[in-house]
């Protein structure tokens, strides 16, 4: 079984879905779910759910190491968490508003996650490395994450990158961001991120432009489906299932996990996209960003 290393954010999510119109200054009936979150940690869980192995590296408050390690383990993820006494575990409160979310984010200990947490031995044991743009941006323009990508490539791993946040990339600087992720084999943006990184508007057009910089680009666009660009091939479009989303939280992470699990297991790129679409469908059909334990 292929092994993917995932490094980045791990978060305590509190997801709130109002069941009626907001009642200011008093109670509003809601559905509230507390669950594990964080883009890279979610992706690791979906990779394991769809048939590959995953090992996750992150940083949490010292008192949460055991709890969150057990939480990752129940999804089949091999946890490699480091504890810190200087920061709390990251947390997000998400308010669901139809297909949109309002997110209140405390990154906490995630700021301290370092690429040095992945050892040469980890790289030797693995087949793939997955990174989140949140960690790239937290590292500034120091080149530390670019160095990890280079280490992984030199060891024979393929590398994927989920850009993570168009607004944060804009503040960081598009050219700086692209320089930090140079060498990635699979770029997995959403449409906003793809348009920002390419400087081109439109799902197919932005994906094609990014495909000139990265070997494989799979851009998700919610109900508008997915565009796939691969070196030497025409850009392909895949329709998304038309479903009523319960909670869009983690849909992109689920797509990434399903896609990566398929791609590193030897499936074709179109098959990987279809598996990513299916995992995204499962993700939005329930509350919370992690897969059902019995998803397959």
Looking at the predicted structure, is the pLDDT value of residue 296 above 70?
no
Q: Report the pLDDT value the prediction gives residue 244, as an integer from 0 to 100.
A: 77
Whether residue 128 is contained in a domain is answered as yes
Whether residue 176 is contained in a domain is answered as yes
Whether residue 234 is contained in a domain is answered as yes
Q: Report the pLDDT value the prediction gives residue 101, as an integer from 0 to 100.
A: 76
Across the range 236-263, mean pLDDT stands at 91
Whether residue 101 is contained in a domain is answered as no
Q: Which long-range contacts (CB under 8 A, 24 or more apart) does 21-24 make?
A: none
Q: Report the pLDDT value the prediction gives residue 17, as an integer from 0 to 100.
A: 87
**How many structural domains are present in the chain?**
1
Looking at the predicted structure, is the pLDDT value of residue 246 above 90?
no
Whether residue 224 is contained in a domain is answered as yes
Q: Which residue range(s) make up the domain with 274?
A: 3-9+39-89+111-284
Whether residue 47 is contained in a domain is answered as yes
Burial category of 109 from C-beta neighbours within 10 Å (exposed 0-12, middle 13-18, buried 19 and up) = buried
Q: Using one digit for the tens of pLDDT, what is the confidence trace for 93-146?
A: 989 877 677 889 899 999 999 999 999 999 999 999 999 999 999 988 889 999
Whether residue 121 is contained in a domain is answered as yes
Whether residue 26 is contained in a domain is answered as no
Q: Using one digit for the tens of pLDDT, what is the confidence trace for 40-58?
A: 999 999 999 999 999 999 9
pLDDT tier for residue 22 given thresholds of 50, 70 and 90? confident
Query: pTM here?
Result: 0.94
* 11-18 β-sheet, strand order: 30-37, 11-18, 90-97, 100-106
CATH number at residue 140: 3.40.1190.20
* 53-61 β-sheet, strand order: 77-84, 53-61, 3-7, 128-132, 158-162, 186-187, 216-220, 226-230, 236-238
Q: Report the pLDDT value the prediction gives residue 97, as an integer from 0 to 100.
A: 79
């Amino acid at each position: 079984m292929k092994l993917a290393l995932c490094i980045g954010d791990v978060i305590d999510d509190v997801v709130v879905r109002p069941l009626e119109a907001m009642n200011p200054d008093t109670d509003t009936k809601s559905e509230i779910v507390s669950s594990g979150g964080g883009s890279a940690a979610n992706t690791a869980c979906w990779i394991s759910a769809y048939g590959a192995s995953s090992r996750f590296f992150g940083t949490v408050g010292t008192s949460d190491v055991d709890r969150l390690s057990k939480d990752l383990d129940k999804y089949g993820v091999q946890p490699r968490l480091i504890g810190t006494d200087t920061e709390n575990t990251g947390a997000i409160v998400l308010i669901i508003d139809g297909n949109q979310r309002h997110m209140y984010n405390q990154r906490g200990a995630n700021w301290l996650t370092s690429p040095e947490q992945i050892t040469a031995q980890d790289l030797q044991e693995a087949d793939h490395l997955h990174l989140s743009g949140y960690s790239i941006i937290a590292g500034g323009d120091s080149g530390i994450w670019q160095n990890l990508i280079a280490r992984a490539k030199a060891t024979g791993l393929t590398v994927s990158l989920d850009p993570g946040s168009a607004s944060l990339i804009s503040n960081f600087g598009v050219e700086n961001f692209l320089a930090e992720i140079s060498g990635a084999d699979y770029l997995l943006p959403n449409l906003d991120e793809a348009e920002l990184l390419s400087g081109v508007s439109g799902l197919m057009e932005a994906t094609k432009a990014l495909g000139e910089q990265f070997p494989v680009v799979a851009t998700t666009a919610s109900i508008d489906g997915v565009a796939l660009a691969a070196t030497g091939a025409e850009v392909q479009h895949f329709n998304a299932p038309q479903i009523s989303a319960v909670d869009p939280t983690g849909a992109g992470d689920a797509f990434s996990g399903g896609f990566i699990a398929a791609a590193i297991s030897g499936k074709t790129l179109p098959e990987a996209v279809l598996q990513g679409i299916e995992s995204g469908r499962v993700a939005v059909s329930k509350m919370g960003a992690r897969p059902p334990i019995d998803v397959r």
